[in-house]
Structure 1
Amino acid sequence: MKFTFLHTIDKAYAGIAIVMSTLSILSCFIIIAVLISCKSLRTNGRTLLICLTVANFVSCVGSIVAAGVSVFTPELTWSNFPVCAAASAISIVSNVCAYLWTCAISLYVYLCISWKKDVLADKLRGVFHLVCWGFPVAVMVIATASDVIGFNFGKAKVERRPPWCWIDRETEKFEMWELVTGLGWRIATIIICTALYSFVQFSLSVQVIGDHSQALVNVILLCFLSKDVRTKLNIKCQSIRHLFSKKTSGLRPLELEELRSDSNQLMDEIELNEEQDQVQG
């Protein structure tokens, strides 16, 4: 495919991509410098942020190379241009890495906040590195070996989008390769992060409700679910019922006094058993 002219909007798009990618690269340097200089910020979770920053840095480099190809070499045959193929490979690896690291950070936060599994989350960091770095490289190698990367210039000349170095539009099963090398992982990342964010928000909402009802929970756990407390309450309730029921109206004062004495004696025995259990414990 011979492409010899770029529309003004295409050049503007490429120029904006170069400027924004350059600013993103500077931002990546700032993030890394801050995390390196401040030891208090070097937590396990923020080390994952450094990995995401590195992936974004490489992605910006690939975008600058691809934009430079579009702007500064308009007379070349794009399908056989090695620089464009290299930019495509860099973009595929870095973009898939960024998507996977975003999912990894979301999963890490979910485990720490919702499940309180900080140790498990830290153990998974090795798995995160293996998957988030190794899998994108494998995708790039497969795409390169299949000879599908190149100049992503549409078949229809009326397409209102600038050309780019990614997947050759003339290759077979273009839509499948588009999903495998980036777009599919972007959609999956949006779905996964949205789901994990919803789970975290739900767990935090439940925790807030628990904070306001802590006293009620303590009453249920320490009083109503305690066998000794329930026994005492039962004795008290029986004493009150006998004292105020119609059946007690015919009892003599001596019988009522004996009933109170039996109840107090039983409660004293329960308290004595509790003291013995505390001494043994």
Structure 2
Amino acid sequence: MAETNRTDVYVYEQVVILASCILSFFGSFLIICTYVHWLDLRTTPRKLLVYLSVSDLLSALSYFYGVVRIFDSDSADCIAQGAISTFANTSSFFWTVAIAIYLYVFIVKSSQRQADNLVLYFHLISWGVPFAITVAALSLHKIGYDASEVSVGWCWVNIQAEDHVLWMLLTGKIWEFIAYATLPVLYILIKIHIKRAHAALSEYRPILTSSPISHSLSSMADRKLTLIPIIFIMLRVWSTIRFLLLLAGSSAGHNPVLVTLHGIGNTFQGAANCIMFVLLTPSIRSRLVALLCCKGQNRHWSSESVSQNRANAHTPTQREENTSPRTLENSEE
């Protein structure tokens, strides 16, 4: 079965997906670095984003290894890579939903204390459930070579297992479906609440709401709340389509375009989060630009100083010739 249904992964697909893995790795790493570097950014929502970025970073690394190797059979590194990607990918689903729940409780319920109290449960669920599922799948020998039926070169659930569909659901797909249903609802409720609050505020503070800066920040936040579930679904839907095609026994799941989109979607989440929450966040983007410019100027000044010192060191005669006799006399005194 593994040989007859195997999906070929072409070189150009590998290149594109590996590039996506690299972007996701550095995107997740940048989110973590900005949180560590700037103390005032250490809010609870951004802390949750860091936990999500850890999952996405680990996921990108495991997928990168799988796409480089293009496994063709069960092996020790295949099983290890499959276990790591299963844990990281499932954890990413949980943290994505956890952030939406936190924002819903914080904004709609207007209770920061209640939202903060949920963080401990987020840790227990978002790390604990994926770990338990992964350990169970490993113990029952369910993780292994899947012939790229619902992957792109990497290992996941052993395609030869009789109950492989059940384990595909348990190790990812069922949580993906829950995220599809949960994220749009939560973010729509948050958007509705913000619009109502904004409308109520405008009745009492027309000058504030007519401010270009206030309007710009409000519209930017509104766009982000719209983009979060849309981007998640657009990235993940291709793997879902291939899973459904596998259930239907269709050969359309081998389509190279669909396979490539699946590979990008599974590996680009960290980069997408970086674009939204770092590069498209003016306060953080301006800090990064200032930091890079400052370092560039320091390098420029340092190189100029070195060049000047070298120039001075190589022209002692000229300096002596330009020195007046009176100065020499003073120095001798």
Q: Same fold (TM over 0.5)?
A: yes
For the aligned residue pairs, the C-alpha RMSD in angstroms reads 2.5
Moved more, 163-172 or 191-200: 163-172
CA shift at 1:187, angstroms?
A: 1.6
Looking at structure 2, the residues matched to 12 and 89 of structure 1 have their Cα atoms a distance apart, in angstroms, of 26
- Structure 2 residue runs without a partner (length 5+): 206-333
SS of the equivalent of 1:199 reads helix
What one-letter code is carried by the residue in structure 2 that aligns with 1:43? T
CA shift at 1:21, angstroms?
A: 0.8
Decide which of 132, 150, 153 is 2:147's aligned counterpart: 153
Shift of the 25–189 alpha-carbon distance from structure 1 to 2, 3 Å rule, reads same
Contact 2:91–2:127 (CA under 8 A) maintained in structure 1: yes
Shift of the 30–8 alpha-carbon distance from structure 1 to 2, 3 Å rule, reads same
SS of the equivalent of 1:169 reads coil
Looking at structure 1, the residues matched to 180 and 23 of structure 2 have their Cα atoms a distance apart, in angstroms, of 24
Shift of the 163–40 alpha-carbon distance from structure 1 to 2, 3 Å rule, reads closer
SS of the equivalent of 1:177 reads helix
Partner of residue 27, structure 1: 27
Shift of the 49–10 alpha-carbon distance from structure 1 to 2, 3 Å rule, reads same
Partner of residue 266, structure 2: none
Decide which of 102, 112, 116 is 2:110's aligned counterpart: 116
Identity %: 27
Partner of residue 137, structure 1: 131
1:165 paired to 2:164: no
What one-letter code is carried by the residue in structure 1 that aligns with 2:80? A
Looking at structure 2, the residues matched to 38 and 12 of structure 1 have their Cα atoms a distance apart, in angstroms, of 39
What one-letter code is carried by the residue in structure 2 that aligns with 1:148? K
Query: Counterparts of 1:243-254 in structure 2 under 5 Å?
Result: none
Partner of residue 179, structure 1: 169
Contact 2:157–2:164 (CA under 8 A) maintained in structure 1: yes
Decide which of 172, 176, 192 is 2:182's aligned counterpart: 192
Looking at structure 1, the residues matched to 131 and 8 of structure 2 have their Cα atoms a distance apart, in angstroms, of 35
Looking at structure 1, the residues matched to 110 and 104 of structure 2 have their Cα atoms a distance apart, in angstroms, of 9
Shift of the 210–12 alpha-carbon distance from structure 1 to 2, 3 Å rule, reads same
1:104-160 CA-to-partner distances (Å, cap 9, x unmatched) read 100111111101010111111111111111110001011111111111116xxxx79
- Structure 1 residue runs without a partner (length 5+): 216-281
SS of the equivalent of 2:10 reads helix
Decide which of 82, 91, 96 is 1:97's aligned counterpart: 91
SS of the equivalent of 2:35 reads helix
CA shift at 1:15, angstroms?
A: 2.7
What one-letter code is carried by the residue in structure 2 that aligns with 1:85? I
Looking at structure 1, the residues matched to 171 and 151 of structure 2 have their Cα atoms a distance apart, in angstroms, of 19
Shift of the 160–23 alpha-carbon distance from structure 1 to 2, 3 Å rule, reads closer
1:125 paired to 2:115: no
What one-letter code is carried by the residue in structure 2 that aligns with 1:135? V
Asked which structure has the greater CA Rg, the reply is: 1
Contact 1:55–1:94 (CA under 8 A) maintained in structure 2: yes
CA shift at 1:2, angstroms?
A: 8.1
Greater RCO, 1 or 2 (C-alpha within 8 Å, sep 6+): 2
Looking at structure 1, the residues matched to 166 and 193 of structure 2 have their Cα atoms a distance apart, in angstroms, of 37
Q: Which runs of 4+ in 1 moved over 6 A?
A: none
Shift of the 178–125 alpha-carbon distance from structure 1 to 2, 3 Å rule, reads same
Looking at structure 2, the residues matched to 181 and 92 of structure 1 have their Cα atoms a distance apart, in angstroms, of 6
Shift of the 82–202 alpha-carbon distance from structure 1 to 2, 3 Å rule, reads same
What one-letter code is carried by the residue in structure 2 that aligns with 1:109? L
Partner of residue 39, structure 2: 39
User: When the two structures are superposed, what TM-score results if normalisation uses the length of structure 2?
Assistant: 0.56
Aligned length: 204
SS of the equivalent of 2:160 reads coil
Partner of residue 228, structure 1: none
Contact 2:2–2:160 (CA under 8 A) maintained in structure 1: no
Contact 1:153–1:169 (CA under 8 A) maintained in structure 2: yes
Looking at structure 2, the residues matched to 126 and 160 of structure 1 have their Cα atoms a distance apart, in angstroms, of 33
Partner of residue 235, structure 1: none
Partner of residue 205, structure 1: 195
Looking at structure 1, the residues matched to 204 and 64 of structure 2 have their Cα atoms a distance apart, in angstroms, of 56
SS of the equivalent of 1:171 reads coil
Moved more, 193-202 or 11-20: 11-20
Query: Counterparts of 1:55-66 in structure 2 under 5 Å?
Result: 55-66=55-66
CA shift at 1:210, angstroms?
A: 2.4
Looking at structure 2, the residues matched to 38 and 44 of structure 1 have their Cα atoms a distance apart, in angstroms, of 14
What one-letter code is carried by the residue in structure 2 that aligns with 1:169? I
